[in-house]
Chains A and B, each alone.
Chain A
Amino acid sequence: MAFSSFKTDVWVDWCPGCGDFGILSALQMAMAEYKKPASDYAIFSGIGCSGKIIHYVNSTGIHNLHGRSIPMAIGAKLANPRLEVIVAGGDGDMLGIGVGHFVSAGRRNVDLSVLLFDNGVYGLTKGQAAPTLPRGIKTKSLSEPNIDTNLNPIALALTAGYTFVARAYAYDIKFLKDLIVRAMKHRGSALLDILQACPTYNDINTKEFYGSRLYKLEEPDWDGVVRKPEEWNDKYSKAMQKALEWGDKIPIGLFYQNELVPSYEDRISQRLTAYAERPPALQSISTSDGTIMTDLSELLKSKRVL
Chain B
Amino acid sequence: MQEVKDITIRLGAAAGDGIQSAGEILAKLLSRSGTYISTFNGNQSAIRGGHVWFHVHAGTHPVYSMGYGVDYLLPFTQLAYDEHYSLVNKGGIIIYDPSAVTARDLGADISQIKSPFLATALKYDKYPIMKNTVAVAEVAALIGLGFDVVEETITSQFAKKPEIAKKNVEAAKEGYGFGVQAGVRKALKYSDKRLPFLHANYTFSIGAVAAGCRFYAAYPMSPASPIVHWMTAHAKKLGITVFLGEDEISVINATIGAAHAGARAMCATSGGGFALMQEAVGEAAMTETPVVVVNVMRTGPSTGLPTKTSQGDLNMMLGISQDDFPRAIFAPRNAPDAYDIAVRSFDIAERYQMPVMVLLDFQIADGGYMTIDHDFEPVDINRGKLLNSDGTDKELHNGTWFRRYQLTPDNISPRPLPGTPNMMYVAKTDEHDEWGHDLSDVLAGLKESVLMREKMQEKRMKKMEQLKAEMKAPELVGQTRADLTVVSWGSSANPVREAMEVMNSSGLKINALEFSDIYPLNTQAIVPLLKSAERLMIVEANYTSQFGGLLRKEIGIDIKDALLKYNGEPIYPVEVERMVRNIMVKEVESHVH
Contact = CB atoms under 8 A, between A and B. Distances in A.
Answer yes or no: are A and B bound together in one complex: yes
Interface of A: 8-11, 13, 37-40, 42, 44, 47, 52, 54-55, 58-65, 68, 70-80, 82-83, 100-101, 103-104, 268, 271-272, 274-275, 278-283, 285-286, 289-294, 296, 298-300, 302-306
A290 B382 contact: yes
A303 B202 CA distance: 9
A285 B31 CA distance: 33
Q: Which 3 residue pairs spanning A and B have beta carbons closest together?
A: A75-B257, A285-B212, A75-B254
A279 B241 contact: yes
Given A80-B261, A290-B382, A298-B238, A100 B246 contact: yes
Interface stretch (B76-84, B228-236, B296-304): B228-236
A292 B342 CA distance: 14
B258 A76 contact: yes
B253 A64 contact: yes
A302 B243 CA distance: 21
5 contacts: A79-B215, A100-B250, A104-B250, A286-B380, A292-B211
A303 B203 CA distance: 9
Q: For the side of the interface on B, what is the size category?
A: 35 or more
Contacts of A77: 257, 261
A72 B279 CA distance: 13
A100 B247 contact: yes
B456 interface: no
A145 B429 CA distance: 33
Given A281-B261, A303-B198, A294 B253 contact: no
B214 A63 contact: no
Contact of B375 (A42, A70, A293, A300): A300
Nearest to B339: A299
Contact of A305 (B194, B243, B261): B194
Among B237, B280, B418, residue most surrounded by chain A Cβ atoms (within 10 Å): B418
B245 interface: yes
Interface of B: 24, 28, 31-32, 194-198, 202, 206, 209-212, 214-215, 217, 230, 233-241, 243, 245-247, 249-251, 253-265, 279-280, 283, 287, 369, 372, 375-376, 378-383, 400-401, 417-430, 436-438, 441-442
A61 B283 CA distance: 15
Contacts, number: 244
A72 B267 CA distance: 13
Is the contact region of chain A dominated by helix, strand, or loop, or is it mixed?
Answer: mixed
Given A71-B254, A292-B210, A302 B202 contact: yes
Contacts of B376: 296, 299-300
A47 B279 CA distance: 14
Contacts of B369: 304
Contact of A75 (B255, B283, B401, B419): B255
Contacts of A72: 253-254, 256-257, 260
Given A71-B254, A75-B217, A8 B400 contact: yes
Nearest to B380: A290
Given A76-B258, A305-B194, A292 B217 contact: no
Contact of A52 (B24, B251, B401, B441): B441
Given A71-B249, A280-B262, A280-B263, 15 more contacts: A39-B423, A60-B418, A60-B427, A62-B427, A65-B253, A68-B283, A72-B256, A74-B250, A75-B261, A79-B215, A80-B417, A101-B246, A283-B239, A285-B264, A294-B212
Given A75-B257, A285-B264, A292-B378, A68 B243 contact: no
B430 A75 contact: no
A64 B429 contact: yes
Contacts of B261: 42, 75-77, 79-80, 83, 280-281
